[in-house]
Amino acid sequence: MTSKKPASAPSPPLEPSAPIAVSDILNSLPVGIMVLSVSGLVIEANLEAANHLGLPPHRLLGLELSKFWPKSAAEIMDAMTGGRQAIGLVPPELDNCYIQVKPLAGNNPGATVTIFDQRLWQPYLKAGQPLDPLTPYYKQIFESSSDGISIVDAKERVLLINDAAARQMGTTREELQGRRISYLVEHKYISETISQEVLGSGKAVTRLVRHFRTGKHILITGTPIFSPDGEARLVVINERDLTELLELQTSLQRHKTLINHFKDEIEETRQTDLSPKEVVSRSPAMARSLETAAKLARYDAPQVLITGESGTGKGLVAKFIHSKSKRAVEPFIHINCAALPEHLLEAELFGYEKGAFTGAAPEGRAGLFEIAGKGTVFMDEIGEMPLTLQTKLLTFLDTRSFRRISGHRIITSDAAIIAATNQDLRSLMERKLFRGDLFFRLSVFCLNIPPLRDRKEDIAEIARRELARLNERYEVSRELDPAAFEALRAYPFPGNVRELLNCLHQAVLLSDRPEIGEFLAQTLEEPSPIQASESSAEEPAPPQLQKNLEDIEKKTLLKALSSCRNTREMAIFLGISQAGVSRKLRKHGLPLPRNRNGDRARASDAPQAFDDAPEASDDAPRAPAEEMSGQGGDEAPNTEKME
């Protein structure tokens, strides 16, 4: 008999689950949730969102977004209407929170806004570590930077790269991310890499490179990132495009060059319209010399040597250089090196302390280099300077410092030095009368003034200006007729501008007619003293005759020395200038005269430093009143100072 298995009891039917409200689900979440309509109205919100906003849920529903988030509403609406997800937005209206905006799925308009409270992360952070408010922004910062940024690991693989870096290389981020640096170099994206150097040295490296595909010049900086054990694991590479900056720099340099060129042209144009007191430069030869002088002034040449025949206007050109330079507001000091004895010339240039020599000022005296400061010292007739003083001048030019006579204090001077001479300094060097090192130091910038016979175009203009000045001075009305211009152009003027001015001066005072052409023609037909001396110099005296003349001259000087107390009396006795006496004594190696007390001639015995002293003949007598001017003074003679 087969027994039947008892039938199993049927399972009880499942209880129907209770419906769960969407609001309950939203309220159970640890984040704030809001659902926005397409117009920005809140159509759903949980308790967490209401707590963050400080409003009851029923008050939040139907409220427009801009009412409670006025500063963030526009950014949230842009993300929603653009159909894109926005992560890491930080509304200024909330503390310690950031939000995520995500459009609703399907065809539903609107979006969800999720509010994350960063304070919920605190238990998972190390003790005492503050929250980083930039955390939700890091990706945006990385992407929005105008500089190219890439991160390379220890195997030189590109872990991350932003769009700016990819654009600078001429490609896309997808093409480069994950590639090795060697790939970028091989495919001509970059010219070189610095990541290996940064990883090896553990130090930041900066270099200017060029990206081949775009032609851009990029300044790259690689900075190492270290692991906790101190090993360089990553390299952050920052790339800045300097192409526009370099092009701007090149353009700026071109414009500077163009501006300097225009300045030169303007300066050249100005030379053709100089005021009556300035140098005449109508002739091409003088225009070139004056153009060079203007450049030397503009670039503030520290020393200039002006050469040219006597009377060509070297002093006027020196003043022109000073007036056109940045030193124009500083003193211009003129000293004639041929007009003073050696010891007095040294005192004038370098100054002296009290008690330095007999006749010195009790309080001492500053020298011209010291007085000039940042101005200009014009040393005329530099070829007449004694050799011993040339050495001291050379030292000053090399060091720009000096000491007063009998002084110990070092004095510095930034004065510009302009030297002038009508002698052939190279010939003087060969005869051991001028130091070669001083010549080459002075002649770094050499300016030659052409003689008047090579400047025929200037003669008429100089004559007009001088005649206008003389007419005003003497209140007369003299005129330059055609005969005057013809006579002036035909004459060679061996005495240059000085002779021309003297001829006009004579014509204004001695001519019987308003037109001075006839007087000039008669005057210029007669041989001048200079011409006569030149013609006599064409045939030099025989050696024996020359020796006899020198012996006679020396005997005459010895006779004057025995009967005169100083160079002033010798000048009167011999009928020549004091400067001529000093030169002749040096020529024959004779000492200065002694006074009754047995002392050498004092500083007051020396002549004044007149501008025309070197042009005067040694044998030309001076009027006693002129020779005795300044007699009895204890101070060294004054020199010209123009400011």
Specify the pLDDT at position 617.
40
Distance CA 356, CA 348 (A): 13
Measuring CA to CA, how many Å separate 227 from each of 55, 233, 235? 47, 6, 12
Question: What's the 3-state SS for 565-597?
Answer: CCHHHHHHHHCCCHHHHHHHHHHCCCCCCECCC
- Residue 305, pLDDT score: 93
Quote the longest CA-to-CA distance of the chain.
Answer: 186
Domain ranges of the chain: 22-124, 145-241, 264-448, 454-530, 543-642
Per-residue confidence (pLDDT) for residue 227, from 0 to 100: 77
Question: For residue 104, what are its two tokens?
Answer: 């609703």
Q: What is the homologous superfamily of the domain 264-448 according to CATH?
A: P-loop containing nucleotide triphosphate hydrolases (3.40.50.300)
pLDDT score recorded for residue 80: 83
- Residues 422, 310 contacting (CB under 8 angstroms): yes
Distance CA 263, CA 274 (A): 17
Query: Which pTM value belongs to this model?
Result: 0.44
> What pLDDT sits at residue 12?
54
- How many CB atoms neighbour CB 138 within 10 A? 11
Residue-level pLDDT at 616: 39
The strand pair at 97-103 and 86-89 is best described as antiparallel
Residue 284, CA distances (Å) to 63, 261, 262, 446, 486 in order: 91, 20, 20, 18, 20
The answer for residues whose C-beta is within 8 angstroms of residue 291's C-beta and 6 or more apart is 267, 268, 271
CA distances from 609 to 78, 340, 384, 403, 510 (A): 90, 7, 13, 23, 31
CB neighbour list of residue 543: distance below 8 Å, 6 or more residues apart: none
| Region 22-124: CATH code | 3.30.450.20
> Tens of pLDDT along 8-42?
555 555 455 556 677 777 777 878 888 888 888 99
In one-letter notation, the amino acid at residue 410 is: I
Q: Do domains 264-448 and 454-530 have the same CATH topology?
A: no
Please list, residue by residue across 347-364, b when 16 or more beta carbons sit within 10 angstroms of its beta carbon and e when fewer do.
Answer: bbbbbbbeebbebbbeeb
**Structure-token match 């919920």, residue found:** 120
> What's the one-letter identity of residue 606?
A
**What pLDDT is recorded for position 544?**
64
- Under a CB-based contact definition with an 8 Å cutoff, are residues 290 and 338 in contact? no
Q: Find out whether 416 and 302 touch, Cβ atoms under 8 Å.
A: yes
CATH number of 454-530: 1.10.8.60
* Segments of the chain scoring below 50 in pLDDT: 1-5, 14, 125, 127-128, 131, 269-276, 528-539, 541, 596-598, 600-643
- Indicate the CATH number of 145-241 among 2.60.40.740, 3.30.450.20, 3.40.50.720, 3.40.50.1980: 3.30.450.20
